[in-house]
Chains A and B, each alone.
Chain A
């Protein structure tokens, strides 16, 4: 049972444009929503994360928008650069002790073209 659905599977954006990746979750007990960035040959690395007490979090060019009622969250990359080309995974977990395992989306391969 896939509990976190991610779209699109792949995305091509022109340099300087906005990249948007969407995720939807089913388990209302989830209260921690991170995004991970993975380059070829590397493990995933945390990019930005949000908790449901806020609707938006911004770190540099990266913004998470969170809609608790719709059970959806999205990653926006502003002024997309070729160096942002990577695979992005959304994830969700519960933060009570002993339940911190992450459920990942299936990933989005982002390509930024010059």
Chain B
């Protein structure tokens, strides 16, 4: 069974640009979450999608957005990039069972560097 796939793995952007990251969840998983990982802040929750609907959103500015497609694949977008957006962006998928937290399976991440 293929794991969570994230693309691209590495990218470099300059301030003011925008970026789109992609995530393909494990087959059958309908929940996709995004986390930002930085040395200073650790793992911070960005948002979570389930069946194409955003169910949860973390404390990030509106420059951070996402969506989920009917095949459960997800994208996140960051507009007007700032130096502080440099981070490892992790996608995780989960088989949500009502009333029972499912295990999060993480991808290897997309490392974004903003110059």
Contacts and interface: CB of A to CB of B under 8 A. Distances in A.
Interface residues of A, number: 27
- Tell me the interface secondary structure of chain B in the complex: strand
Contacts, number: 63
B96 A104 contact: no
Interface in B55-91: 55-56, 58, 90
A61 to B, nearest CB: 20
Contacts of A93: 101
Nearest to B57: A101
B56 A104 contact: no
A113 interface: no
A53 to B, nearest CB: 13
A41 B50 CA distance: 27
B48 A45 contact: no
A65 interface: no
B92 to A, nearest CB: 8
A95 interface: yes
Contact of B55 (A34, A43, A98): A98
A43 B94 contact: no
A43 B101 contact: no
A101 B90 contact: no
A28 B58 CA distance: 19
Interface of A: 32, 34, 36, 41-46, 49, 89, 91, 93-107
